[in-house]
Amino acid sequence: MLSIVISIVSTLTSSVLVFVVTNLMKENKDIRARRREENIAKEENIANGVLCLLRVKLIEYHDHYMEIDSIPSYARSNWDMMYEAYHELGGNGMITGMDKEIKNLKID
């Protein structure tokens, strides 16, 4: 009789442990998926913010250097890096025309 009771308790304990571990694994998976989605949303927001900042700075550079009709070499290097990053982040073609104008300026 005692062996039957021990067997039943052992089976119940095993079943409860399997249930708990399975639920913990499911919760862990759900938490990871939620964090992944949150991180993707944050990265998209950061990329959009950087894109806007690059656009503003590129327009400022364009307006300033077109006005003086030349561009220093360091500013041209900055322009090229910003322009490349702008397009890598999905920037539109508005700046492309400005890029052509900047590249036609004489370098100081």
- The beta strand positions in 13-95, using DSSP E, are 70-71
- Residues 71-106 pLDDT 10s: 999 999 999 999 999 999 999 888 999 999 999 999
CA distances from 10 to 4, 13, 93 (A): 10, 5, 69
What pLDDT band is residue 20 in, cutting at 50, 70 and 90? very high
Q: What is the structure's pLDDT at 58?
A: 98
Q: What is the structure's pLDDT at 35?
A: 97
CA distance 65 to 76: 10
Quick count: other Cβ atoms within 10 Å of Cβ 81?
11
Show the tokens assigned to 32: 């990871």
Q: Which H or E run contains 38?
A: helix 2-68
- Residues 50-67 pLDDT 10s: 999 999 999 999 999 999
Kindly tell me if the per-residue pLDDT of 24 is higher than 90: yes
Kindly tell me if the per-residue pLDDT of 26 is higher than 90: yes
> pTM for this structure?
0.75
